[in-house]
Structure 1
Amino acid sequence: MKHAIILAHPRSGSFCATLAKTCADHLRAGGHEVVVRDLYALDFDPRLKAEELPMANGARPAADIVMERELVADVDGFIFVYPFWFNAPPAILKGYVDRVFSMGFGYAPGLGGTESLLDGKTLLSFSTSGAPEDWVKDTGALKALMTVFDLHLAGVCGLRVLDHCHFGSIVSNMTDESRDELLDRMRSSLDDLFAPAGG
């Protein structure tokens, strides 16, 4: 399989960055092809432009979006890696979705609505927060985010949501043991989802 890992964290040494690198390394070791898109390192512009808005005659993506779509057009699945900020993805990731997954790539006009264009592709998310994992789940924050972000994006574009793995209590003084345990959990999730049949 070919995966596009979309990383949305401003610090190159963050736990999210470590997650993305470990994810890419683990998938490659398993024979998968991976393209990593580090949105902050790329200085991705998340602002949807007026001329990019869908009109009666279609939509006209800007040059940077045409290039981005070409880079990820042939992937089998998308893997989002990002922190919770106010229980939501960073603006740069929302802008990536707004611009890249919009009309002409994620969906097309259809009779009485839209037609999904990414059917058969998958979506997997790894998110982090400083809040404890149980709090994020027990308060409904994760479920709410999945409803308005993961599941809505999947529904519009035809993606199949594989999972949303959230890691809580990500703080600056977390121990190496805690970090390694979470990375092992991520590797285990990848193995469960992408191990070859009979492997």
Structure 2
Amino acid sequence: MKHVVILAHPKPTSFCAAIARTCVEHLRATDQEVVLRDLYAENFDPRLKAEELPTAFGVTPAADVIAERSMLSGAKSLVFVYPFWFNAPPAILKGYVDRVLGMGFGYASIGGRMESLMDGVSLTSFSTSGAPEHWVESTGALKALMTVFDQHVAKVCGLRVLDHVHFGDIVPNMTEEWGADTLQRVRDKLDGLFALAYV
């Protein structure tokens, strides 16, 4: 199986980056094909350009989008890793979805109606916040995000949402033990979702 781990955090020393690395290392340890896309490190431009908007004549993706779509070709699993900013993904990840998973790749307009083009591909998300997990749950923040982002993107593109795991209390003074325990939860979740077999 080919997995693409998409990291959306500006700091390479962030805990999100540690989660992304853990995903890559753990999946590769089970002989899975894994590609890491660090959107900030790659200097991905999230701004959808006027010339990229769909028209009656179709859609013309920019060169960087064409390259990104080529890299995603054959992937059966997308893994988003990002922090909660105002209870939403960073703009760079939203822009990635807008530009890369848009018309012509994520979905098509056929006979006046939309048809998904990514059926058979799964979506797993790992998100973080400084707020406690119970606050994110009790306020409905995670449920609201999943409705307007995870589930909407999945429905339009045909993705199958496997899970969205949120880690709260991710703060600069968190203990090393808490960090290690959280990364183990990431490994355990991957094992459960993909029934990984070690080689």
User: Does the pair score TM above 0.5?
Assistant: yes
Shift of 1:153: 0.2
Q: Give the partner amino acid of 1:9.
A: H
Q: Secondary structure at the match of 2:93?
A: helix
User: In 1, distance between residues paired with 2:100 and 2:110?
Assistant: 19
Residue 109 of structure 1 aligns with an amino acid whose one-letter code is S
Equivalence for 1:82: 82
User: What SS does structure 2 have at the residue aligned with 1:40?
Assistant: coil
Q: Distance in 1 between matches of 2:196 and 2:10?
A: 34
SS in 2 for 1:164: strand
Letter in 2 for 1:60: T
Q: State whether structure 2 residue 91 is matched by structure 1 residue 91.
A: yes
Moved over 6 A (4+): none
Residue by residue over 1:106-137, the C-alpha shift from the partner in whole angstroms, topping out at 9 and shown as x without a partner, is 00002342000000100000000000001001
CA deviations on 1:12-47 (whole Å, 9 max, x unpaired) are 000000000011000000111100000000000000
2:45 aligned partner: 45
Corresponding residue of 1:184: 184
* Stretch moving more, 107-116 or 1-10: 107-116
Q: Report the secondary structure of 1:182's partner residue.
A: helix
Q: Secondary structure at the match of 1:3?
A: strand
Sequence identity percentage: 67
SS at match of 2:177: helix
Structure 1 unaligned segments of length 5 or more: list them.
none
SS at the partner of 1:45? coil
Shift of residue 73 of structure 1?
A: 1.2
Partner of 2:35: 35
5+ long unaligned stretches in structure 2: none
TM-score (norm 1): 0.97
Q: Deviation string for 1:88-118 (max 9, x for gaps)?
A: 0000000000000001100000234200000
Matches within 5 A, 1:119-158: 119-158=119-158
The aligned counterpart of 1:115 is 115
TM (normalized to structure 2)?
0.97
Correspondence for 1:23: 23
